[in-house]
Amino acid sequence: MAYSPLAKWFHWITVVLILVALPTGFVIGHIKDASKMGFYAIHESAGLTLLIVAALRLWYRIKNPVPVEASLPAPMRRAATGVHHALYGALILQPLLGFFATNAFGFPMQGATAYLGFIDLPKFMPAWEGLARVLLWLHQTLGWAIVALLAAHVGAVVFHQAIRKDGTLIRMV
């Protein structure tokens, strides 16, 4: 059984946002010129949009559960469920950690890094460097965990398509 058009839309818009947020996040620390603020703006806007899409996607998935694939062995079903749950949690927690970290560093999404380039978000806390460093470390660590979860997810898709030949990929296209 195929996923609904809305479930597919949520999936693929999430992919696009991840493909924007992760690479920009990984290179920001290596940029030393004025273009750094542009990378922050893109990264933070993609991340916050990802939070909104992930929350809506989770709400939709709770209301519209995925049909159980009867031919899937129980250990594979549990692994798939675990990876999906971890991805949902990470895609919601990750932008929150980043948003809180930037505020704790004293750089809310305003001006050059306004959400989508023109929506200033309010500063909600004073600068607190100790907290900011902890939040940044958690944000960066979770970024690498998301990479690992995505590798597991894509690896499972390849396994299902190439080895099991069970049409799992086609259900989401």
What is the chain's pLDDT, residue by residue, as a tens digit (173 residues)? 678 999 999 999 999 999 999 999 999 999 999 899 999 999 999 999 999 999 999 999 999 988 777 788 999 999 999 999 999 999 999 999 999 999 999 999 999 999 999 999 999 899 999 999 999 999 999 999 999 999 999 999 999 999 998 888 888 88
Q: Distance (Å, rounded) from C-alpha 140 to C-alpha 21?
A: 12
Q: Distance (Å, rounded) from C-alpha 169 to C-alpha 158?
A: 8
pLDDT value for 39: 94
In order of their start, the domains of the chain are 5-172 (1.20.950.20)
pLDDT value for 28: 94
Tracing tokens 């059984």 back to the chain, one arrives at 1
Is 17 within 8 Å of 52 (Cβ atoms)? Answer: no
Q: Distance (Å, rounded) from C-alpha 48 to C-alpha 28?
A: 17
